[in-house]
Structure 1
Amino acid sequence: MNDVESDVELFAGPGGMTRGLNGRGIGIEWDANAVATRLAAGLPTIHGDVRTYGPADFPNATGLAGGPPCQTFSVSGNGAGRQALTVILAEIKRMSARDTTPHDFEDERTALVLEPLRWALAAMDLGRPYETIVLEQVQQVQPVWDDYAEALTAEGYSVATGVLATEQYGIPQTRRRAVLVARLDGPVALPEPTHRPYRKGVPQHEGDPRLLPWVSMGDVLDRPDPFTVISNYGTGGDPKNRGRRTSAEPAATVTGKISRNRIVDAGGNELPRLTHAEAGLLQSFPADHPWSGRDIPQQIGNACPPLLAKALAEAARGIPRPAPTALSAV
C-alpha cells in the first residue's frame, strides 16, 4: 500500500488513540460500527482484520500503536485471557526466538494481544523497525506488557511499562490502564501525571500543589444543576451497593453499559441519561465527535481516551509535556 502515514494503528476503534496521535496514520479496525464512526470523523481507516496484514503492507509507517480487545482479560469478561496468561508469556518468548509455531487458544480473542509484537518483530526483520510503539489495555494485561518490554529491549528499544490512572492526565473519569511506550532512538519514560489522583472524600482543590486538580463530570458536562450518577450494576446484585458518583467527582470507569446509568438530582428525581456526546466527553473525546453506526455506548466504553493516548504518544516521541492549564478534548 502506498500509504504516506507515519503510524499504523491496530484495533483502531472509533478514534480515541488516533486523536491522541494527532490523526497521524491509518487505523485497522474490524468492527463495522467503529469503522462507521471513524469514517464519519474523516480518519484514515481500513476495515479489516489485523491478522491479515503486516508491516510490509505499510512500508512508510514509522510508528505502531494499538489497544487489543480486552474482553478475555477484563474482570467483566470471560477470564480466558487471564487463565491463559502463562501460555501467553511463553508465546512472547517463542515469538522473540522467531519460532513461527502458533498456539491455539480456547478464545481466539486472547491471541490478539500478541499481534502488536508480531508486527514489531516483523518490521524489525524487514529492516524497517518502528521508531515508536504505543500500547494500552486493561490493567490485567500488565504482565504481558512487561514481557513485551523484555522482548523489545532485546531488539534495541528503550521501553517503559506501567499502570496509569486516567484522571491524572486530565480525563474526567477514573480508569486504570496498563500501558507500554517504546522508542528506538533514545530513552523513554512513562508520561508524568499532570493532575492529582482522585481519592474519595478528598476535595478537588486539595492535594499536591504541583499538580492540577482532577477534572469532574460537572467540569465538562453542560448540565446546570448538581447531579448523581448511579451505576446500573452493583456488587453481588444488591442495588444498594451500586456505585454512585456526584457531578463534583470524576466519572467511574466508562463501559459499554454507560447509557444504562441513572442520573438523579439532589432530590432524587430522575434526570435525562447521558447522551452519546456526554459519554464521549467523559472519555475526553470532543463533544462533536460523530458517533455513528450501532452499539455506540460499547464503542465509547471500548475506546482509548484521547488525552491518555496523547500523553503516551508524546512520551514515546520524546516530546516534553508542559502542564496544561485546563482540560481540552483532542
Structure 2
Amino acid sequence: MNIEAVDLFCGAGGLTAGLRQANITVKAGYDIEPSCAYAYEHNNHGAKFILQDVQTVTAQDIAQHYSEGAIRLLAGCAPCQPFSTYNQGRDARLDKKWPLLYAFARLIREVQPELVTMENVPDVTKHDVYHDFVANLKQQGYEIWADKVECVAYGIPQNRRRHVLLASKIGKVSLLPPTHTGNPITVRETIGHLPALHSGEQSSVDALHRCAKLSELNLKRIRASKAGGTWRDWPVELRAKCHQKASGQSYGSVYGRMEWDKPAPTMTTLCTGFGNGRFGHPEQDRGISLREAALFQSFPMDYQFYPPNRAFNFQSIAKMIGNAVPVRLGEIVGLSLLNTLYSATAD
C-alpha cells in the first residue's frame, strides 16, 4: 500500500520535499502565498500548488487528490505566529491566523485520513486551540505521538526546536529515534564550500547565493564582531543606543556571528539580516546568503525558489525559507509514518 499526502500551509515546499525524500507521494499543497507556487511545483514534480485559504477548503477538495485504496496523509504546519513567545501578553484571538489550526482540525474530522502530522513551535502546547486539536483527534480514534523535537539530533544543522505531532488510525505511531546523537552537523560542514561574498554581493554561479548589503555602520560593527560573540565585544561608539541603556543590556542575541564548528542558530524569516540575530557569517563581513539559509533549513543545494533569469524579491525569498519546515524534518516524519504502515501490515 502507498501513502499519499496533501500538504496544508505548504509554503515553498519544505515538508513536501521531505516527505518525497521518504518516498511518500505528495499530491497537492495548499497555501495563500502566490509567490510560493514556483518553488513548490518546480522542485516537487507531480505535486500541484493550489492557491486557496485553508479555511475555505472542503473535504471534497481534499478527497479528490487521493487515489482509491491509498493510505491518506493530511499534513500541515499552521503559521506559528499566534503561538510564538513574541505574542505572549497580547490577545492572540485577534490574530487572523489563530483559526487555522481549527480549520485543520475540521478537515481531519471531515476527511478522516488514516494519518495526520502537524508541526509547530514548542509554545503551541500552551494554548487551548492545540489541546482542542488533540482532543478532537482522540475522539476520532487516532493513536497520537507528540513531543518537542531537537532538530539538530536529526541532522539538521541549526539549533531549532519544534513540536511535532503524529496521529494514526492504522496502529501505534512514534517519531524515529534521533539519527545524530554524536557530533552535530556544523556551520562549516553546511556552508564552508560556498564561494566567499562581500556585503551585498551575488555569486556569479548561483544567484541565490546573495547577501544583503550592510550599511557603513553595520560593516564597522561586523568587523568588530567575534564568532560566537555579541555586540558587547564592540567599542562603545558602535553600540546601538538601545543597548547602552540598562533595559537593553540583556539583549545579547542580536548582531552576532555564527561559529564554524557549531550548528547555526534557528533560521527565521529575518535570518539574512545581521542585526536580527546571530546571522553574521563566521568570518566574512556580511550576513548569511539566501542559499546559506536554505542549506541550514536542509533544502537541497539545487532547490530553486524563483524562475531562472528573473529578478526576485530578496525579502520574499528569505520569508519562504524562514517559514519552511526543514526538509530533513519532513523526511523523518515521512519515514516515521512509513514505519507505522510497515508495522501495521506486518501484524
Q: 2:281 matched to which residue of 1?
A: 263
Residue 105 of structure 2 aligns to which amino acid in structure 1?
L
Q: 2:325 matched to which residue of 1?
A: 304
Contact 1:217 1:247 in 2 (8 A): yes
Q: 1:245 Cα deviation (Å)? A: 3.2
Contact 1:251 1:282 in 2 (8 A): yes
1:225-240 aligned at under 5 Å gives the runs 228=227, 237-238=248-249
Q: Given the alignment, which residue of 149, 153, 158 partners 1:173?
A: 158
Is residue 224 of structure 2 the alignment partner of residue 220 of structure 1?
Answer: no
Q: 1:290 matched to which residue of 2?
A: 304
Deviations 1:16-55 (A, max 9, x none): 0001110522000111222232133244210111111122
Pairs aligned (count): 272
1:182-197 aligned at under 5 Å gives the runs 182-196=167-181
Contact 2:3 2:73 in 1 (8 A): no
Q: Could you say which structure has the larger radius of gyration?
A: 2
Structure 2 Cα separation of the partners of residues 137 and 241 of structure 1: 22
Structure 2 Cα separation of the partners of residues 122 and 320 of structure 1: 22
Q: 1:135 matched to which residue of 2?
A: 118
**TM-score normalized by structure 1?**
0.73
Structure 1 Cα separation of the partners of residues 106 and 229 of structure 2: 42
Q: Given the alignment, which residue of 14, 17, 32 partners 2:15?
A: 17
Q: 1:254 matched to which residue of 2?
A: 267
Structure 2 Cα separation of the partners of residues 223 and 63 of structure 1: 37
Contact 2:146 2:166 in 1 (8 A): yes
Contact 2:16 2:26 in 1 (8 A): yes
Helix, strand or coil at the partner of 1:164: strand
Residue 47 of structure 1 aligns to which amino acid in structure 2?
L
Q: 1:223 Cα deviation (Å)? A: 4.0
Q: Percent identity between the aligned chains?
A: 28
Q: 1:264 Cα deviation (Å)? A: 4.5
Is residue 39 of structure 2 the alignment partner of residue 37 of structure 1?
Answer: yes
**Distance change >3 Å, CA 185–CA 231, structure 1 → 2:** farther
**TM-score normalized by structure 2?**
0.70
Deviations 1:242-264 (A, max 9, x none): 35530100011001111113224
Is residue 68 of structure 2 the alignment partner of residue 69 of structure 1?
Answer: no
**Distance change >3 Å, CA 151–CA 246, structure 1 → 2:** same
Most deviating of 10-19 and 113-122 = 113-122
Q: 1:142 Cα deviation (Å)? A: 2.3
Contact 1:72 1:110 in 2 (8 A): yes
**Distance change >3 Å, CA 44–CA 228, structure 1 → 2:** farther
Helix, strand or coil at the partner of 2:35: helix
Alpha-carbon RMSD: 3.1
Residue 73 of structure 1 aligns to which amino acid in structure 2?
F
Extract unaligned runs of 5+ from structure 2. 67-71, 197-225, 232-239, 275-279, 307-311, 343-347
Q: 2:61 matched to which residue of 1?
A: 57
